[in-house]
Chains A and B, each alone.
Chain A
């Protein structure tokens, strides 16, 4: 129909305007796609922070090895923006494949079907997508497993001294935060030596993490362990410990047993300074490597098998620090 054609082109125009207005779109030109020779990968991230920087670097490294180009965009936590950015990548820039970290696992569905319709491989990394019907390949961490791995560190430490644990919780709208919390709690259920005395929501906000930790330490001065579900809340927790006069290196009787997840520079530094007991590192290099190799497979016309991969984190603790740290992204960067 004529009308629907007009509407569709209007929508495309609007979408491309939005994408132009969006900040963070990398200016890297992809004239290569039109030449039809080099493969260009369109990347759409939900946001940019330390771990995303590492994931970006991992993708770029893997792409370079494979001889692919990368166009990079960031959606600033806005699902609408992300969907128009992906539309722009596929329709205007004509990328050969997309790698997406979805802001919203539900709302990304339209982008997935668009990629399917245009025969563009759609790779989801880090954050899971609700409907995986048309996703070419998905590789995510396993938040629940990371929670269990953290719990294992607590259990083994509690054998020498019973632990009273403060558990910080990330944003309650974030699947990763929920998964880490549930895995952690499930694994510790029934452990007589570990008691979770307080659960404090942080909404992934450093200020709330700081205040919540201070308050919990105030209420329960006998807290001797804290579970921090992401490295980027670690400075807040350390500040709270400092002002409560509880920040001390491992071995000091005042020391509070600390375990975090992610494995970024902060975490690694704290490991080296012996104030952090363990960090469950996300295998970001694996994300990049497997995502790019899946693209190679898919562009070769073959199905990627297995289609979904959940990689559990790598436990970096003081005992295994020397051996494991070279594989942790925060330690090598």
Chain B
């Protein structure tokens, strides 16, 4: 049996970002009155939601040692399709399904191109990033298009006091977390990223898994788009511009290795929360607008370095079970 202390230190070792986030929250709440209020925390949660949703999807892609630069553009094209003549007055359920399908399809395009060709994911998604944004611009004519009220509910409504975007983000994170750690697909995704050659040798459907990861990321980018546009109340030509970098930042911040094979959904959620909390904290601090970008970059660098050392030294001093065990070792062997 593990003691409570051991358990908590183990959790800390797995998610070094959790204490970072807690300390950030406490510090900001201590510094600025009004930060620690329920209303503000609710605000942070709402603002983090689209990022969480998209970043959770991107985690699957990055887990396969891939990258998806088209997230922002998928978000925009999905929004553009939502605002198109055909959909804007359709019932909400139908619109959401159609957008989800569109996102899945866009992701699948990326995925099939990456899985079937030898072109690096960076190039494939760099290309599709421009294609999707261009297509979105074509549909909207680069105009602002207001969304009707029935399509805004997913961004502004709430259920039992929980804001709809937060509910959606939570469901996505839990669902994706289960898909990630409790299903064959999730396991295969991690295996492909960890060692592609070994995955091929073990007879894994490497191509389908790769394509599936991108398709899932596309689906979630579209879901993020639904909440984002519903919150904005309008589809605008510049939405999602640069979003891919924020998404990748959140995923990497969450401890997922850009080389694949290592990472977690919890980490990504925490990464998105840390980014959003820091952003809100900056507004509260009243810092000069120029400071914002500096802080954002600084947060990333610090957290990545902290995650890189993985609290190894701390863990070793505390004599934790894990990579380097202290005892004589456990032997599993037949008689």
Are any A and B Cβ atoms less than 8 Å apart in their complex? Answer: yes
Report A's interface with B, CB cutoff 8 A: 23, 47-50, 52-53, 169, 172, 198-201, 203-207, 210-212, 214-216, 218-221, 232, 235-236, 238-239, 242-243, 264-266
- Complex Cα distance, B144 from A264, in Å, reads 10
Contact B290 A172 (CB under 8 A): yes
In whole angstroms, what is the CA distance A192 to B292 when docked? 29
* Cβ-closest chain A residue relative to B228: A207
Residues of B within 8 A of A219 (CB): 32, 34-35, 40, 283-284
Residues of chain B at the chain A interface (Cβ within 8 Å):
32, 34-35, 37, 39-40, 43, 46-47, 50, 134, 137, 141-144, 146, 155-156, 228, 231-234, 236-239, 241-243, 276, 279-280, 283-284, 286, 288-290, 292
Other-chain residue from B39, B50, B231 in contact with A218 (beta carbon distance below 8 A): B39
CB contact under 8 A between A201 and B292, given known A218-B43, A232-B144: yes
Give every chain B residue within 8 A of A220 (Cβ-Cβ).
34
Most chain A CB inside 10 Å of its own CB: which residue of B228, B242, B283, B290: B283
Q: Are A235 and B236 in contact (CB under 8 A)?
A: yes
* A264 to B231 CA separation, bound complex (whole angstroms): 21
State the Cβ distance, B38 to closest chain A Cβ, in Å. Answer: 11
Contact B142 A207 (CB under 8 A): no
CB-contact partner of B238 in A172, A200, A206, under 8 A: A206
- In the docked arrangement, what's the CA distance between A285 and B130, Å? 32
Q: Of A169, A199, A206, which one neighbours B236 at CB under 8 angstroms?
A: A206
Distance between Cα atoms of A265 and B241 in the complex (Å): 23
Contact of B232 among A199, A203, A210, A221 (CB under 8 A): A210
Across the interface, which residues of B come within 8 angstroms of A48, CB to CB? 137, 142, 237
Instruction: Find out whether the CB atom of B47 lies under 8 angstroms from the CB atom of A214.
Output: yes
Chain A-chain B contacts (Cβ-Cβ < 8 Å), number? 101
Query: For A236, what are the chain B residues with a Cβ–Cβ distance below 8 Å?
Result: 232
Determine the distance from Cα of A214 to Cα of B142 in the docked complex, in whole angstroms. Answer: 26
* Cross-chain contact of B144 among A205, A216, A235, A239 (Cβ < 8 A): A235
* Chain A residue with Cβ nearest B290: A172
The complex places the Cα of A216 from the Cα of B286 at a distance, in Å, of 9
Majority secondary structure of chain A interface residues (helix, strand, loop or mixed)? helix
Cβ contacts under 8 Å, B241 to chain A: 205
**Residues of the A chain whose Cβ atoms lie less than 8 Å from the Cβ of B286:** 198-199
Q: How far is the CB of B292 from chain A (nearest CB, A)?
A: 5
Do B283 and A200 touch across chains, with their CB atoms under 8 A apart? Answer: yes
In the assembled complex, the CB of B53 is this many whole angstroms from the nearest CB of chain A, namely 13
The smallest C-beta distance from B14 to any residue of chain A, in angstroms, reads 29
Contact B236 A232 (CB under 8 A): yes
| Contact of A211 with B232 at beta-carbon distance under 8 Å, contacts A218-B34, A235-B146 already known | no
Do B47 and A211 have beta carbons less than 8 Å apart? yes
- Taking a contact as CB atoms under 8 Å apart, the answer to whether A206 and B142 are in contact is no
Contact B289 A235, beta carbon cutoff 8 Å? no
Q: 18 additional contacts, CB 8 Å, given A205-B239, A215-B279?
A: A47-B142, A52-B142, A169-B289, A200-B289, A201-B289, A203-B242, A205-B238, A214-B46, A216-B283, A218-B43, A219-B35, A232-B238, A235-B146, A235-B232, A235-B233, A236-B232, A239-B156, A242-B156
A49 to B142, CA, bound (A): 5
Closest 7 CB pairs of A and B: A201-B289, A235-B234, A215-B283, A48-B142, A239-B233, A211-B47, A218-B40
The chain A residue with its CB closest to the CB of B237 is: A49
* Chain B residues whose C-beta falls within 8 Å of the C-beta of A201 in the assembled complex: 289, 292
Residue contact A266 to B289, C-beta cutoff 8 Å: no
What are the residues of chain A within 8 A of B236 when measuring CB–CB? 206, 232, 235
**Contact A214:B43 (CB < 8 A) given known A53-B142, A198-B286:** yes
Residues on A with C-beta less than 8 A from B35 are: 219
- Measured CB to CB, the nearest residue on chain A to B240 is A207
Q: Judging by beta carbons under 8 Å apart, are A243 and B238 in contact? A: no
Q: Contact between A205 and B242 (Cβ–Cβ < 8 Å)?
A: yes
**A7: shortest Cβ distance to chain B, in Å?**
28
Complex-state Cα separation, A215 to B286, whole angstroms: 11
Q: How far is the CA of A27 from the CA of B286 in the complex (A)?
A: 49
Please list 28 pairs of residues, one from A and one from B, whose beta carbons are closer than 8 Å in the complex, sorted by A's number: A47-B142, A49-B143, A49-B237, A50-B143, A52-B142, A53-B141, A198-B286, A199-B286, A200-B283, A203-B242, A205-B238, A205-B242, A206-B232, A206-B236, A212-B283, A214-B47, A215-B43, A215-B279, A215-B280, A218-B39, A218-B280, A219-B35, A220-B34, A235-B144, A235-B146, A235-B233, A239-B231, A243-B46
Q: Point out the residues of chain B lying under 8 angstroms from A169, CB to CB.
A: 289
Nearest chain B CB to A15's CB is how many angstroms away? 19
